[in-house]
Amino acid sequence: MQFIDLGAQQRRIRQKIEKNILAVLDHGRYIMGPEIGELEQRLADYAGVRHVLGCSSGTDALLMALMAHDVGPGDAVFTTPFTFIATAEVIRLLGATPVFAEIDPATFNLDPASLEKTIVALKTNAPETSPLPGGVRVSDLTPRGIIAVDLFGLPADYSAIGEIARKHGLFVIEDAAQSFGAESGGRRAGAMADIACTSFFPAKPLGCYGDGGALFTDNDALVEKMASIRVHGKGIHKYDNARIGINGRLDAIQAAILLAKLDIFPDEIERRQGIARRYSERLSAIAGLTPPSVPDGYTSAWAQYSVLAADEEHRAALQARLKSADVPTAIYYPKPLHMQTAFADLGYRAGDFPVSEDFARRIFSLPMHPYLEEADQIRITDILAGA
């Protein structure tokens, strides 16, 4: 059994993928060929935003979104410690400081109450009310923005986060790397913040066959700036440089592959709902195991189906039992970001984010993809039930 079976999807659309790739080989416009504009338009229509820019990866999308907001040394960007490293890495890469807030135990996403407490603690220099980077003084950092993450495909609480952002004059970036195809409050992932960033890494809900990503926004000024940053900060022409940028383009061949995959994407999101529902129905009766919850009004893209075991030993036992039956599992994420060596200089300590630290010891993810067979799901849940 595979954790994510990309082969089943490929068999379904192989001819279309080959045809689209061959079209790129025929026209030869490998960089910024016509597939890029076509994909951007279709992604914008799907997400319900005015502008989309294809780009080189989800990480570069986040980096360019921060660059568009002129984030740099002395700036604080608030985010979750329970995410993939890229979310906070890009903040540090620009010389700014990631300031972590705790997650909501029900959704694994940024807890708006903890976020606001952390913002206020930073503004008033009261680290005893909420963990801040060690030794930070109020004069050291300027609060600038928030990166909320739609973990495992479930959108964060953007109505609450947006309200906090407006109150404190902060921008909001949606890290939708795992959530393309998700919905909440009548909006789709990609349309929930000033700028949204997604990833087309092969294992994401909408993946290509290499690295890729996209930026989403309704803001005309921001899209113009990000389009410039995407090509070395270009000004009125290629050899006029208005600002510092990066080489952040998406390849035409990857766009061609994504166009083929986009045709079946709504059907795949639908299939994921059925598979998640089946898992949850069968797992909710198992003592000591907590299936993921989806709040009313939300739809997850189910990038991962992650459950909580009772404790670390319980998790190890369940994973071992599944492994001996050839069922792969994974741990997202075994170490919260505030505990990573890469961020040791921030001065956070064990115990600063107890929910994130506890979940890192108890969480694990089950095989999840649109082509997972019911018989395999029954086998997995029976093993977990101890049958």
Ligand X SMILES: *Cc1c(COP(=O)(O)O)cnc(C)c1O
CB 105 within 8 A of CB 380: no
Q: Sign of the C-alpha dihedral, residues 41, 85, 110, 129?
A: negative
One-letter identity of residue 125: N
Among residues 24, 66, 96, 177, which is the contact residue for ligand X, using CB under 6 A?
177
By CB under 6 A, tell whether 175 contacts ligand X: yes
- Termini Cα distance of the chain: 19
One-letter identity of residue 352: D
For the CB of residue 213, give the shortest distance to ligand X in the complex, in Å. 5
CB 11 within 8 A of CB 5: no
By CB under 6 A, tell whether 54 contacts ligand X: no
Query: What tokens appear for 189 in the block?
Result: 């992932």
Closest CA to 248 of 268, 227, 270, 265: 227
For the CB of residue 240, give the shortest distance to ligand X in the complex, in Å. 29
By CB under 6 A, tell whether 179 contacts ligand X: no
Span interacting with ligand X, options 84-92, 262-270, 276-284, 334-342, rule CB under 6 A: 84-92
By CB under 6 A, tell whether 162 contacts ligand X: no
Active site residues per annotation:
204
Maximum Cα–Cα distance across the chain: 67
Among residues 83, 299, 356, 365, which is the contact residue for ligand X, using CB under 6 A?
83
By CB under 6 A, tell whether 201 contacts ligand X: yes
Residues 9-38: x where in contact with ligand X by CB under 6 A, - otherwise, as a string? ------------------------------
d(CA 145, CA 5): 37
Span interacting with ligand X, options 53-61, 306-314, 340-348, 368-376, rule CB under 6 A: 53-61
Q: Residue 216's beta-bridge partner residues? A: 52, 196
73 phi and psi angles, rounded to 5 deg: -55, 135
By CB under 6 A, tell whether 79 contacts ligand X: no
Among residues 107, 114, 178, 299, which is the contact residue for ligand X, using CB under 6 A?
178
By CB under 6 A, tell whether 199 contacts ligand X: yes
Q: Report residue 116 CA to chain centroid gap.
A: 21
For the CB of residue 311, give the shortest distance to ligand X in the complex, in Å. 26
Span interacting with ligand X, options 38-46, 79-87, 320-328, 359-367, rule CB under 6 A: 79-87
